Amino acid sequence: MLSDHSDIESLRQANETFYEAFGSLDIDKMDAICEISGRALCIHPGWRPLSGWDQIRVSWQGIFENASLMHFNIQYLAIDTDGDCGWVTCVENITSVLQGRANNFGVIATNVFCRSDSGWKLVVHHASPNI
Amino acid sequence: MLSDHSDIESLRQANETFYEAFGSLDIDKMDAICEISGRALCIHPGWRPLSGWDQIRVSWQGIFENASLMHFNIQYLAIDTDGDCGWVTCVENITSVLQGRANNFGVIATNVFCRSDSGWKLVVHHASPNI
């Protein structure tokens, strides 16, 4: 199935909404863009994989509590859809202040989204250091 | 959309076919399980992302030429489908001989597949070191 142009654009917007939630360190915004389900899966760079929304949510809360600034400049490598599923691979160019220390670093992420009645929801977030 | 049990099983089989191709160091088998398209995307652990099948294929040929043994023990973390799209996140427990040196190491991979007339094809392979 070929991707519909409007699907690609709505998926790009969903991916940007995810990074807005991440950058605003706001767990309520993260709740809104993520799929709240047992199949949700998250791999933060260098972490062991987290399965199911409950432990993923705890990880976001921990990251947000330790960060005072998180700014994303997203470089898209791939963005595509197939029916009600879509995926984005992107480089996250990050400026952060974590535990009082400023950092600039890059992360490569593959984000898998599924469409729900309220739009695209992030199901899988696989992030790894951009070496 | 809930996943169909037979879809999950056929996707698991496709993922195993991918690792059989990888383990047999056989580019023809890799051609058969991968989507031969410009949207194909591959991130080998620690590599820069590769976009499009042409450069991905060259990377597999290079890996296969440098490896004399590659054995995979796959641990599944997630396997799910949504229509004609499916994704697998797994830990690749690898025993390899690369350039004459034996190694045991772990990799976390997220593999996105799309269904074609000839079955599931790998579109995105994002692999990162399992720390």
Chain B residues closer than 8 Å to A77 by CB: 41, 49, 51
Place of tokens 């350039």: B99
The pair phi, psi for residue A61, each rounded to 5°, is -60, -40
Residues of A in contact with B45 (CB under 8 A): 128
| Residues whose CB falls within 8 Å of the CB of residue A101, separated by 6 or more in sequence, listed in order | none
Region of A34 (left: φ > 0; alpha: ψ -120 to 50; beta: rest) is beta
- pLDDT in the model for residue A57: 98
Q: What is the pTM of this model?
A: 0.94
Closest residue of chain B to A127, computed from CA coordinates:
B128
B interface with A, Cβ–Cβ < 8 A, is: 1, 39, 41, 43, 45-47, 49, 51, 77-78, 80, 82-85, 87, 89, 91, 108, 110, 112, 114, 123-124, 126, 128-129, 131
Sequence ranges of the domains in chain A: 5-129
- DSSP E strands, chain A: 41-43, 50-51, 67-82, 85-98, 101-116, 119-129
A10's enclosing H/E stretch is helix A5-23
- CB atoms inside a 10 Å sphere around CB B17: 17
Could you read off the pLDDT of B18-27 as tens digits, one per residue? 999 999 999 9
Q: How far apart are CA B66 and CA B119, in angstroms?
A: 30
Residue in B1, B49, B114 closest to A108 by CB = B49
Question: What is the rounded average pLDDT of the residues B78-92?
Answer: 96
Task: Decide: B93 and B127 in contact? Cβ < 8 Å.
Answer: no
| Fold that domain A5-129 belongs to in CATH | Nuclear Transport Factor 2; Chain: A, (3.10.450)
Q: What are phi and psi of B15, to 5 degrees?
A: -65, -40
H/E element holding B76? strand B67-82
| Confidence grade of residue A43 (pLDDT, cut at 50, 70, 90) | very high
Q: If pLDDT is split at 50, 70 and 90, which confidence band does B1 have?
A: low
What mean pLDDT is reported for chain B? 94
Q: What distance in Å separates the CA atoms of residue B62 and residue A54, rounded to the nearest whole number?
A: 41
Mean local confidence (pLDDT), B52-75:
95
